[in-house]
Structure 1
Amino acid sequence: MGKHIFSGRFTTENEEDLVVFIIGMRINKRLAIQKWLPVFTAMPPMIRELYTNQKELGFLSMESFFGLRTTVMIQYWRSTEDLLAYAKGSNHLKAWKNFNKKVGDNPAVGIYHETFVVKQGNYESFYGNMPQYGLAKAMPHIPISPHHRSAQKRLTPQ
C-alpha cells in the first residue's frame, strides 16, 4: 500500500524559521565493510528516537536517499538550539564516539553534514499530485489558493 496522494496543488506556509540539516555518508572503499557498515547501521536507532520524541526534540521531519556509494538525509528542525542539543545527547554522542573509535581518519568511509538556518518568508514549496513529502511533512500542508499561485507570491509576504 502506497502513501496517500494529494490530488491538486499544495504548498506550506513560510511563517516560521526552520533549520534544514543535510547529513550522510559515502562509501569510499566498498570492500571495507567492517568500516562503513557500523556507520550505516548507527543511524536507524537515532531516527527512531527522533520520530518517537519529535515534539520534545524539535525534530520536524526527514527524507532519505540511498545511492550506490552515498546516502543523503534531509532533516527539518525547529531551531539550531534543538539540533545542537540533540547532537550533544547520549544517542548521538555514543554513535559519534563509536565512529571515531572504529573509523577515525580511515578513508574507507566519509561522513558529512550541512546546516542551513532559513528565516521565515525565505522559503517556498510546491507539491503537485504528491504525498506529503519533504517540507510538507514538517510544516502545515495547505492547498494553493490564488494568493499562493506562483513561487514569487509564496515568497512575498502577504
Structure 2
Amino acid sequence: MTPIDRGRWTANLDDHDGVVLFLIGMRINKPWRIDQWVFVAAAMGGMLAYLAKHPESGMIKARNWFGRTTMQVAYWRSTDDLLRFAADEDAPHRPAWRRFYQRVARSSAVGIWHETYVVRPGNAEAVYVNMPAFGLAEATEKVRVSRHNSRAEQRLGAPAAEG
C-alpha cells in the first residue's frame, strides 16, 4: 500500500528553474475498431518503458488515467528535453507518430492530443492533504505547509487578497 503523508504538504519549486507539465492522451472514438486504436495504446507503453530505461531523456515522473479518454500527466526537466525526445529518430515517439498518421489519422476511430505547460517558481502552487507523493510535489520537492507557505498567495509569491 502506498504510504500516506499525513497533514498538509506543498511543492517547493524555489530550488528549480521550473519543470514542464506535459499532458498527453488518446480518445477512443470507435471502440469496436480495436484494430485502429490498440497499437496507439501499445505505443504509449513502449515510450514509457523507453523513458524509464533512459532517465537522461528528461522525463521526471508520469502517471496515467484510463477510460475512453486516457490521460498521462508527465513532468519533464525542460522543453528542450521533451522536444529532443519527440524528434529523436532512435527513440520510440517519432516512429509511433509516423505509424499513427499512416494507419489511422484519417479514420477518426481514435484521437490523440497533448498540452504542454512550463511551470516556474512563483507561477504555480499546489497543496496536498493526507496524500502520498503526487503531482508537482512528487516531480520537484514535497515540503510540509508552514506559516510561510500556508496560503495560495504565499506559494504563488503574490500579495494577499484584500477581504
List 4+ stretches of structure 1 deviating above 4 A. Answer: none
- Structure 1: stretches of 5+ with no match in the other structure: none
Equivalent residue number for residue 77 of structure 2 = 78
What is residue 148 of structure 1 aligned with on the other side?
A: 149
Please give the TM-score of this superposition, normalised by the length of structure 2: 0.89
Between the aligned partners of 1:29 and 1:78, the Cα distance in structure 2 is: 35
SS at match of 2:108: coil
Unaligned runs of 5+ in 2: 159-163
> Does the 8 Å CA contact 1:61/1:135 hold for their aligned counterparts?
no
2:105 matches 1:114: no
* Counterpart residue number, 1:92: 93
1:153, CA displacement in angstroms? 1.1
CA distance, structure 1, for counterparts of residue 54 and residue 146 of structure 2: 33
How far apart, in 2, do the equivalents of 1:13 and 1:92 lie?
31
Q: Alpha carbon RMSD of aligned pairs, Å?
A: 1.3
The 2-side partners of 1:47 and 1:149 are apart by: 35
Q: Taking every aligned residue pair, what percent have the same amino acid on both sides? A: 43
**1:65 counterpart residue number:** 65
Counterpart secondary structure, 2:70: strand
- Residues 113-133 of structure 1 show CA distances to partners (whole Å, capped at 9, x for unaligned) of 111122221011111110111
Between Structure 1 and Structure 2, how many residues are aligned?
154
> What are the residue-to-residue correspondences of 1:44-63 with 2, within 5 Å?
44-54=45-55, 56-63=56-63
Deviation at 1:140?
0.9
Structure-1-length-normalised TM-score: 0.91
Deviation at residue 52 of structure 1 after TM alignment = 2.5
